[in-house]
Amino acid sequence: MTTAFAPASDVQTPQALLPRVLSYLKGPVGSIALMLAAVVVIGAVSVGPAFFSASNVRIVGVAVAIPLIVGVLASFALLAGVVDLSIGSMVGFGAVAFNQLVASGIDPWTAAGVTILLGVVVGSINAFVIVGLGAEPLAVTLGMLTLLRGVCQAIVVQAPPTTLIEPLYDVTQGTTLGIPTLLLIGVGLTLVAAGVVSKTRIGRKVQAVGGDPRAAQRAGISVVRVRTVALIVSAVGAAIGGIFYVGQLGSASNILGTGLEFQIYAALMIGGYSITRGGVGNPIGALLGLLVVAGITNILNVSFIDPDYLDLIVAVILLAAVLVDRFRGGDAFE
């Protein structure tokens, strides 16, 4: 009887695996994973076993879930080379619109459909001005941010609270196998988005448009179409986030979503995305970046440390992420 042995070239020795592991850790996802591990260690040391308790993990998961959904969908605009600053106000506008529609007696499913349609309209307006007319994305979306915030201030005056929406409440407040259901939805969306970005032609087109729009145009890719769809997806994601916030909070306020765009973009940049150039980033990095910010926030809250330090800490981490990105070259992503 003869025994077949695997060729020596097929055997993965520790010496052969080490360069691959190091190259992975040098990449954006590896870097942010190490940062998240550091946050976990700091939490374990400073807070103790309570940091890993089921209730505390659930608090972090609930805090991350909706920004994760909004951030993952907004990241497609970033990948396409467009920064959408209006997502925070769109979250607030979506919440207010959904709240008012349900409070007026409209069926919640119909109200959700109308709210999503409003997201399509806002995204289409952004796309028309930015892509069609060639306006500066930051200026246009900042203007839309201000416009939507003003609309929220006008609509919410004496707005009645919504009644409890059972299916939506079950999703936003319920758990599955002890894990917040909304977090599972966010993680599932992240994995799907990561697969689209890294494994499909659609994802490669989005990255190509963000990385070099002229080269993408010469290759037969419609830059106008890709950026238009990306901006619509970004606005629709924010509208969905607003709907989920109403389910989570029971109503909408005129300040809901204020500053959320900066929280999300800080997490995206920490996770490996770039504000200055498109085509760089991966939804997995977005998830890890949001977990880092949420973990730091939780450590400060549980340790009764002044939460005003959060912005300072996030700013330092963000600067460190930018420096790491520059040292790495910032041209490629896993």
User: How confident is the model over 11-34, as pLDDT tens digits?
Assistant: 455 555 555 555 555 555 666 777
DSSP-based helix, strand, coil % in the chain, nearest 5:
75, 0, 25
If you average pLDDT over residues 166-175, what whole number do you get? Answer: 80
Neighbouring CB atoms inside 10 A of 331's CB total 10
pLDDT at 206 over 90: yes
C-beta pairs of 27-30 under 8 Å, 24+ apart in sequence: 27/272, 27/328, 27/332, 27/333, 27/334, 28/271, 28/272, 28/281, 28/282, 28/285, 28/325, 28/328, 28/333, 28/334, 29/272, 29/282, 29/284, 29/285, 29/288, 29/334
**Distance of alpha carbon 162 from alpha carbon 33, whole angstroms:** 40
User: Do residues 123 and 234 lie in contact, with contact meaning Cβ atoms separated by under 8 Å?
Assistant: yes
pLDDT at 9 over 60: no
If you average pLDDT over residues 79-94, what whole number do you get? Answer: 94
Helical axes 28-46 vs 14-26, angle rounded to 10° = 90
309 or 174: which leads in pLDDT: 174
Tokens coding 213: 């729009």
177 or 229: which leads in pLDDT: 229
Q: What is the pLDDT of residue 241?
A: 95
pLDDT at 226 over 50: yes
The reported pTM is 0.84
pLDDT at 57 over 80: yes
pLDDT at 217 over 60: yes
